[in-house]
Amino acid sequence: MTYLVLLGGIALLLVGGDLLVRGAVGLAERLEIPPIIIGLTIVAFGTSAPELVVSLKAAVSNSPGIAVGNVVGSNIANILLVVGLPAMVAATDCNQTDIVRNAVYVLGASVLFIALSHIGPLGAWHGAILFTLMMLFLVETGRRAVSQRNGRRLAAQCDVEVIDGVSGAPHSLALIGIFIIAGLIGLSAGGHFTVDAARILAKQWGMSEATIGLTVVALGTSLPELATTLVAAIRGQCGLALGNVLGSNLFNILAIMGIVSAVTPIPVPQDLLDFDLWVMLAATLAVMPFAIARARVTRLPGALFVAAYIGYIAIAVGHKGSAIAASF
């Protein structure tokens, strides 16, 4: 029964997040908000809604391992799995606008988050720093998009991305309201079921809550990115994969952990400090050469990324779980 509750919770998170994004985009279009702003704010925040809800619910439920593990595990899965698996289908180009800049920002955010976690527990001032940096990044990105000579092309590209990613945005006010309300309800219920089921499974499997957050929950909340990128790879249109992953990882660290830390103090479990945070940093470093050289992620690097993720999961589940469970 617990497995069904977990699957149902993750499904509600994914459906609720999707409905919320579509409703919010529809409302923004009715208000005639420029597509570039919609892409930088509503779509960016909305697609990270499952991770935000799960981490926030876990934090206020006194399950910091799930709260932090979900973010760290999602970032690891995003790079090693979401970039690696589609690259095994079709080579992924890394020649997007500002790809080097964004990769450096993600690396810097990762280093900062590791440093703050070691100073922890994460609290209001940690959250304020992280979220402020997220806002500054959004402001700078919007300014660059508007001021650059190819601003029109960037705005058009963002428009295409919004249309492709949110093709079912409603247009009537009534339907917009239904989408937004249904999305919020789905996210709330999904977060509740997912966190409660994850806590039960941690006890049943003899693992720490952090391990469950790093593996089962993180993989579940990363499914939309994985599914979208795989479909794009099959269609031969996976050029945006790395850029989307970098953006998602930046939001996970700065926005989600910023908001959650500001709401309630979060002690970072020792096993994350000793191992998983460094895996997240290593995964980020692994994609830096591709971003800097604007090289293609071909089948061999993609296979190595996937193999590294499988190895990481094996270590997390096989060697960490039972040994750490006694500390929770």
Ranges of each domain in the chain: 2-325
Report mean pLDDT in 10-residue bins for the chain, 328 residues: 79 76 75 61 66 83 86 91 84 74 91 92 92 89 66 44 52 83 78 75 76 82 72 61 79 91 90 92 93 85 93 80 41
Tokens of 317: 């589940």
State how far the Cα of 130 lies from the Cα of 109, in Å rounded to an integer.
8
Contacts of 156 (CB under 8 A, 6+ apart): none
Q: What pLDDT, on a 0 to 100 scale, did the predictor assign at position 296?
A: 82
DSSP sequence for 139-172: HHHHHHHHHSTTHHHHHHHHHHHHHHHTTT---S
Residue 2: count other Cβ atoms within 10 Å of its Cβ: 14
CATH 1.20.1420.30 fits 2-325, yes or no: yes
CB 60 within 8 A of CB 188: no
Q: Please report which helix (H) or strand (E) contains residue 322, including its range.
A: helix 321-325
State how far the Cα of 228 lies from the Cα of 283, in Å rounded to an integer.
21
State how far the Cα of 62 lies from the Cα of 55, in Å rounded to an integer.
11
Q: What pLDDT, on a 0 to 100 scale, did the predictor assign at position 326?
A: 40
Classify residue 91 by its DSSP letter.
P
State how far the Cα of 158 lies from the Cα of 139, in Å rounded to an integer.
16
Q: Please report which helix (H) or strand (E) contains residue 127, including its range.
A: helix 124-147
3-state helix, strand, coil in the chain (%, to 5): 80, 0, 15
Mapped onto helix, strand or coil, the DSSP state of residue 246 is helix
State how far the Cα of 220 lies from the Cα of 9, in Å rounded to an integer.
10
The backbone torsions φ and ψ at residue 92, rounded to the nearest 5 degrees and listed phi first, read: -100, 125
State how far the Cα of 5 lies from the Cα of 7, in Å rounded to an integer.
6
Q: C-alpha angle with apex 246: 161 to 301, nearest 5 degrees?
A: 105
Closest CA to 290 of 235, 246, 224: 246
